[in-house]
Structure 1
Amino acid sequence: MSMDAKNKALGWRPVLLLILDGWGCNETEAQQPLAAASTPHWDWLRASFPYSEAAATGPWLGLPENWPGSCEWGHFLIGTGRRGAHPYLLVEEALGEGSSLGSEEVVRFLQRAHREGRRLHLWGLTSNGRVHSVERHSWALLERARQAGFSGEQVLFHAVTDGWDTPPRSAIGYLARVAAQSLVLGVGRLASLCGRAYSLGPPSVRARREDAHRLLRFGEGRLADTFSQALQTAYQQGQEDMLLAPTVLLGREGYPVGHLEEGDLLLCFHFQPLRAHAFLKSLA
């Protein structure tokens, strides 16, 4: 018996699952463009068939209250059919927010790195967009590194600027706060900048990913004395945070602050693994 015949005999009817990214049910036109748009097919479906609305934020998705969901996490939950622990919460636990040192795994990793004389690199999306990152996680890692014995330029910070989950020219505030935390703690130095379209873009944009790879691995890219100078130059050329060209920051006497070298260790501090995993794998 064919599959179609079997389904017909059992009384089963085909079901179509449509995932409409960015489509919501808020009826307030000021908050939902779809409410003001002409959507005859959607209106017909809602008028002709029973339906229910699913929440897409906060605890319903395993997230903190009032946190927005994301397409990546939403697709993951639809695929698994159950609510899971969001990576954000796993990072919160690993960094031990509110504790003295954080989880034993993080502590042991950093203490071993310092004991072996290795240089530590912190890399990730430097923003508070809450889809891929929150800025306090990078601050927490700087604090954990200091507590493990690191100081000064033994820790290098490689910032990926956002501009997608945040306003397009908002990087200056996030970078300034990282620099301030490093100064207060006496550990860490901004070493490079790169827009997320390069290191976190889709795999199809290979040229950009290779540029981001060369920045982190070999210290190749545009040169700038400070992060504010790098941003100013980019904005003057029409590049916003997301498309910020890979940039090497210069330190004392005009030499690059540093890049990944043999024996160095790297930690990623943003919690959305999908695009980051693909990029970091290319560094291995």
Structure 2
Amino acid sequence: MPKPVVLCILDGWGLSDSPDANAPHLARTPVFDRLMANCPHATLITHGPDVGLPRGQMGNSEVGHTNIGAGRVVAMDLGQIDLAIEEGSFFENSALQSFVTKMKASGGRAHLLGLMSDGGVHGHLNHIAAAARALTEAGVPVLLHALTDGRDVAPKSARVQLEALREMMPPEVRIATVTGRYFAMDRDNRWSRVEEAYEAIVAGRGLRCPDPRMAITNAYARSETDEFITATVIGDYMGARDGDGLFCLNF
């Protein structure tokens, strides 16, 4: 008699003997222990090139679901963008070139919006830096709206990410706002959250701080981790102007 087969996906469940931040290893798991001891099984590599990511890049739920659903290795956005930057085709991209042309014609400023993170799940700070270089070299003033992560990376790593990004970006780039992804990247139609990010980015309204690093430090003092940093306007930024343009670097 045919028996049903269940495909059960447990996001974040991995096999490692290291106890560090390893809930499956530290927890009492009698069912899985029995399955592993008595049932035929195999293991999968869920990071790097085996799932369409750059070597050494961790996997995530979106990547796993995409590869399982496709039944093959799918080249993910992160790796394709990384390769384009490495080869130089990123800087010749027609959309980027069109954006540069429009900014130079309007005399406006380019607002970059992206996840300031090396997690690589929804964006990467390397991509922000590459776009900032391209625009600055073309003579376009650049403002960055930094979205702090704390979900796909450590919850208090924003200061490290900020310094890494600053080292890669031209010194002329100005950080205009700092906002946790909880507000700027909500995907459940919670518009009150999005409004807080929108007001800071578009209108320059909200909590204000003279320096982005201080904005992060102050957030920690309020017991806010990176994901939940209140939308903060940096310095004398007063919002977008006519002729400005927005370039979102998330994927």
Under TM normalisation by the shorter chain, which class is it? Answer: 0.7 to 0.9
* Alignment match, 1:147: 137
Contact kept, 8 Å, 1:179 with 1:190, in 2: the verdict is no
State the distance in 2 between where 1:190 and 1:36 align: 41
Q: Higher mean Cα deviation, 34-43 or 222-231? A: 34-43
State the distance in 1 between where 2:155 and 2:11 align: 21
State the distance in 1 between where 2:69 and 2:204 align: 39
- CA drift at 1:12: 4.3
- CA drift at 1:261: 4.1
1:111-152 CA distance string (max 9 Å, x none): 3332343321101111222333332221111110022221xx
1:71-220 correspondence to structure 2 within 5 Å: 71-94=61-84, 96-99=85-88, 102-105=91-94, 106-150=96-140, 154-179=141-166, 184=171, 186=172, 188-203=173-188, 205-220=190-205
Contact kept, 8 Å, 2:136 with 2:170, in 1: the verdict is no
Instruction: Give the match's secondary structure for 2:247.
Output: strand
- CA drift at 1:245: 0.3
1:194-245 CA distance string (max 9 Å, x none): 0111112341644222211222222221011111332232222211222110
State the distance in 1 between where 2:33 and 2:59 align: 25
State the distance in 1 between where 2:234 and 2:247 align: 19
- Among residues 211, 215, 228, which one is paired with 1:230 in the alignment? 215
State the distance in 1 between where 2:91 and 2:56 align: 25
Instruction: Give the match's secondary structure for 1:112.
Output: helix
Pairs aligned (count): 249
User: Residues 183 and 102 (structure 1 numbering): CA distance in 2 closer, same or farther, change over 3 Å?
Assistant: closer
User: Residues 235 and 34 (structure 1 numbering): CA distance in 2 closer, same or farther, change over 3 Å?
Assistant: closer
State the distance in 1 between where 2:156 and 2:42 align: 39
User: Residues 43 and 121 (structure 1 numbering): CA distance in 2 closer, same or farther, change over 3 Å?
Assistant: same
State the distance in 2 between where 1:107 and 1:179 align: 24
State the distance in 2 between where 1:183 and 1:51 align: 51
User: Residues 98 and 258 (structure 1 numbering): CA distance in 2 closer, same or farther, change over 3 Å?
Assistant: farther
Percent of aligned pairs with the same residue? 32
Contact kept, 8 Å, 2:158 with 2:226, in 1: the verdict is yes
1:161-219 CA distance string (max 9 Å, x none): 122233333322333444455554x3x21111101111123416442222112222222
In structure 2, what residue type is equivalent to 1:218?
A
2:249 is aligned with 1:269: yes
User: Residues 100 and 130 (structure 1 numbering): CA distance in 2 closer, same or farther, change over 3 Å?
Assistant: closer
Instruction: Give the match's secondary structure for 1:97.
Output: helix
In structure 1, what residue type is equivalent to 2:66?
F
Contact kept, 8 Å, 2:115 with 2:147, in 1: the verdict is yes
Contact kept, 8 Å, 1:156 with 1:258, in 2: the verdict is no
Q: CA RMSD in A?
A: 2.5
State the distance in 2 between where 1:38 and 1:208 align: 38
In structure 1, what residue type is equivalent to 2:240?
L
- CA drift at 1:101: 7.0
1:30-59 CA distance string (max 9 Å, x none): 354423432222233334432221111111
Could you tell me which runs of 5 or more consecutive residues in structure 1 were left unpaired when the two chains were aligned. 1-10, 252-256, 274-284
User: Residues 36 and 159 (structure 1 numbering): CA distance in 2 closer, same or farther, change over 3 Å?
Assistant: closer
* Alignment match, 1:57: 47
State the distance in 2 between where 1:165 and 1:127 align: 8
State the distance in 2 between where 1:141 and 1:166 align: 22
Which structure would you say has the larger Rg? 1
In structure 2, what residue type is equivalent to 1:231?
I
